[in-house]
């Protein structure tokens, strides 16, 4: 996902932030030969309390500054659970982030695509692609940051029935090294 102007800050200032999400090229398919890949996100359907930390200036030479936000994520199933949508609304002292994450299962490739929609500017970010293996969702793709190409990695870790973490990282060196720029902890409400 590209950094978009997701964060509305008091006094009209805008900071660049990122959902995941968000959030791309390489794919990690769901377990081969299973027909249950379309149910990979069934555990997440419902309402969650969300705590998010966002790195303000990823892949820069500046000192790391993290912003904190809290709110909700609501996950709704679509099309017999072959798709779902995540509605994110979080706020903190620096402002708020609102967005949607559209997820669609691709049975021919046994993978999911995750696409973030920024409500503030109405733009879609490039999709990340992948699936779950050994309880961890891995999704990868390509994007741009400040006009330069980057790789994006998005990880989902389910930690029991009522907790999950979501981590996004960028790479400017083709995936040799990664810098985490988004970390969210969801707890079922």
Q: What is the pTM of this model?
A: 0.81
What pLDDT does 47 receive?
98
Q: Give 10-residue mean pLDDT values along the chain (189 residues).
A: 40 32 33 65 96 96 94 96 96 95 96 91 92 94 95 96 97 97 97
CA dihedral of residues 52, 151, 7, 102 (deg, nearest 10)? -80
Cα 4 off chain centre by: 13
* Closest to 41 measured CA to CA, from 143, 170, 142, 139: 139
Residue 147's pLDDT is what?
A: 93
Separation CA 124–CA 92 (nearest Å) = 24
- Beta strand pairing call for 179-188 and 111-118: unpaired
Domains of the chain: 4-188 (2.40.128.20)
- For residues 131 and 111, the answer to whether their CB atoms sit within 8 Å is yes
> How many CA atoms, within 13 angstroms, populate the side-chain half-sphere of residue 14?
8
Residue pair 7/97 in contact by the 8 Å Cβ criterion = yes
Contacts of 175 by beta carbon, 8 Å cutoff, 6+ apart: 26, 140, 151, 153
pLDDT at 35: 56
CB 81 within 8 A of CB 42: yes
What is residue 36's predicted lDDT score, i.e. its pLDDT?
A: 72
């Amino acid at each position: 996902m590209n950094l978009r102007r997701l964060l509305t800050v008091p006094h009209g200032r805008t900071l660049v932030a990122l959902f995941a999400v968000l959030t791309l090229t390489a794919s990690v398919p769901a377990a081969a030969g299973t027909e249950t890949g379309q149910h990979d996100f069934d555990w997440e359907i419902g309402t969650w309390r969300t705590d998010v930390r966002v790195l303000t200036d990823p892949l820069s030479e500046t000192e790391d500054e993290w912003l904190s936000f809290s709110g909700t994520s609501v996950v709704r199933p679509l099309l017999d659970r072959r798709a779902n949508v995540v509605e994110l609304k979080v706020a903190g002292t620096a402002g708020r982030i609102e967005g949607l994450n559209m997820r669609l299962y691709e049975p021919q490739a046994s993978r999911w695509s995750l696409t973030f929609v920024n409500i503030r500017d109405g733009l879609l970010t490039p999709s990340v692609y992948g699936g779950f293996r050994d309880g961890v969702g891995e999704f990868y793709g390509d994007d741009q940051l400040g006009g330069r190409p980057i790789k994006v990695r998005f990880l989902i870790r389910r930690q029991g029935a009522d907790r999950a973490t979501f981590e996004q990282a960028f790479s400017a060196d083709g995936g040799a090294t990664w810098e985490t720029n988004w970390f969210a902890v969801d707890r079922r409400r």
